[in-house]
Amino acid sequence: MAEVYKNLIDGQWVESSSGEVYENRNPANWDEVIGIFQKSTREDVEAAVEAAQRAYRKWRLLPAPKRAEIIFKAAQMLVERKEDFARDETREMGKILPETRGDVQEAIDMSFFIAGEGRRLYGFTTPSELPLKFQMSIRIPMGVAAIITPWNFPMAIPSWKIIPALVAGNTVVFKPATDTPLSAYNFVKVLVEAGVPAGVVNLVTGSGAVVGESLITHPYVKVISFTGSSEVGKHIGSKGASLFKKVSLEMGGKNAQIVMDDANLELAVDGATWGGFGTTGQRCTATSRVIVHKKVYKKFLDMYVERVKKLRVGNGLDPNTDVGPLINESQLNKVLSYIEIGKSEGAKLLIGGHRLTGGEYDRGWFVAPTIFADVDPNMRIAQEEIFGPVVSVIPADSLEHAIEIANNSKYGLSSSIYTNDIKKAFIAIRDIYTGITYVNAPTIGAEVHLPFGGVNQTGNGHREGGHTVIDIFTEWKSVYIDFSGRLQRAQIDTDEIVKVE
């Protein structure tokens, strides 16, 4: 019998008021139940938000370096449990073990990095236009933060949000994706064991429609940090705006890798293979378009197909596997339907294009790595986010043409260019409109200490990662301290020659 996992509300592990639960199954083998989780209700969310609101009164007063000490401890515990957590993650999410180790590592990196912010959280000072007056800006915490996350990075993405929220002095109600609650549980349990006080972090599992919706509309919630699809992000953004909440959105992508005629083609193929098929293509930064200069187009395609042919698809726990399953049946159907769309649009299917069946494949959501060539930049497979192992290759006449194709997207998260010409590299950095650009590296591979996010329908102007994430979870307060002992009027008394004492 699979273990039953509970919600965390006000420091207690509790069942949902609904009395209902749901099963979390392994996408590589649906006979395996990973755990039983709470199907939570609006009442559960209310209890969690109220607990977070109460806990905020004390947590915000704990000096930031002290809050950060708890996070340093949690980071160390993540290091010690990394292997177990990675295995749990592969079982519930499907990606291969080296990648889930990377996911836990990202949570470790983020925790150590942002815990350091506990001794920074910098504001600034600036001179006054009046004498005997001091002024500065400081950061203040906001209150209860609602954290809503997707399933593809089930520990890394929560850490990008929860850790900075806490170090900045906020309290948290966390709703993870329904498909990956075990990694959320593992992460929250570490925070509790490291010493995060009761009510400061609360975990409520369940659906977006019930748990997510109740959370984003709760009057005590001051800031919402969401990562997921642009469709849901748009809904949360407009709802949050109408309720005057601060909303940070990280959403979809349709990332392009450009391959110039002077590029190292071996390297470019390595990049397009890892970027396109790593995490089974289920990354917001996945390479889903490869734009290749026509002079090397044919050669690149031959090499790319040869490489992708060798990818082994299977259970992510098997060390021989390169590409795991898709997360669930609806994602499988979505990917298969896009393959049909690509064929009907007239793109040339070079490899893959079907569900894998037989043996272990019959009990999971496996699709063969798929490459379409001769794709027109305006085809749906070149415009819409597929979120699976499907790559569209598009020919281009020149650097300018390649950049124009890359920018022809409603998204704008990541991009990459392979070239040995420094001039071309810098032109691409200047002209591709995305939040991230790589040179001679794939579109995936962000590190925690640089700003992370995208333009257009990928984001709404915020940046996670780096020191910029602190802006999401704090408000600025400007402070003016007049020690002249008289009324000094800004903009009015500035021309007077004042005797400086």
The footprint of ligand NAD (CB under 6 A) covers: 148-153, 175, 177-178, 208-209, 212-213, 216, 227-229, 232, 235-236, 250-253, 284, 385, 387, 413, 454, 458
129 or 231, CB closer to ligand NAD?
Answer: 231
**What is the closest distance, in whole angstroms, from the C-beta atom of residue 215 to ligand NAD in the complex?**
7
Backbone dihedral region for residue 147 (phi beyond 0: left; psi -120 to 50: alpha; all else: beta): beta
For residue 111, give both structure tokens: 């925790």
**Neighbouring-strand partners of residue 293:** 396
Pairwise CA distance, residues 245 & 269, whole Å: 44
Q: Which is nearer to ligand NAD, 72 or 433 (CB)?
A: 433
Q: Which is nearer to ligand NAD, 316 or 454 (CB)?
A: 454
Rounded least distance, CB 430 to ligand NAD, Å = 23
Length of the chain: 501
Least distance CB 472 / ligand NAD (angstroms)? 13
C-alpha pair distances (Å), 157 with each of 124, 181, 500:
29, 13, 53
| CA distances for 33 relative to 15, 179, 207, 314, 323, angstroms | 19, 12, 18, 18, 21
Which listed residue (99, 106, 117, 284) is catalytic?
284
Nearer to ligand NAD, 150 or 169 (CB): 150
Token pair listed for 85:
């957590």
Task: Tell me, yes or no, if 306 is annotated catalytic.
Answer: no
- Find the shortest distance in angstroms from Cβ 152 to ligand NAD: 5
The single-letter code of the amino acid at 357 is T
CA distance 388 to 377: 18
- 284 assigned to active site: yes
Q: Can you tell me the distance from the alpha carbon of 455 to that of 465, in angstroms, rounded to the nearest whole number?
A: 15
- The SS3 assignment for 102 reads helix
The count of other CB atoms within 10 Å of the CB of residue 295 is 13
The catalytically annotated residue of 99, 106, 117, 250 is 250
| Residue whose entry in the numeric block shows the structure tokens 């909303």 | 247
CB of 209 to ligand NAD, least distance (A): 6
Closer residue to ligand NAD (CB): 282 or 419: 282
Catalytic positions, written as ranges: 250, 284
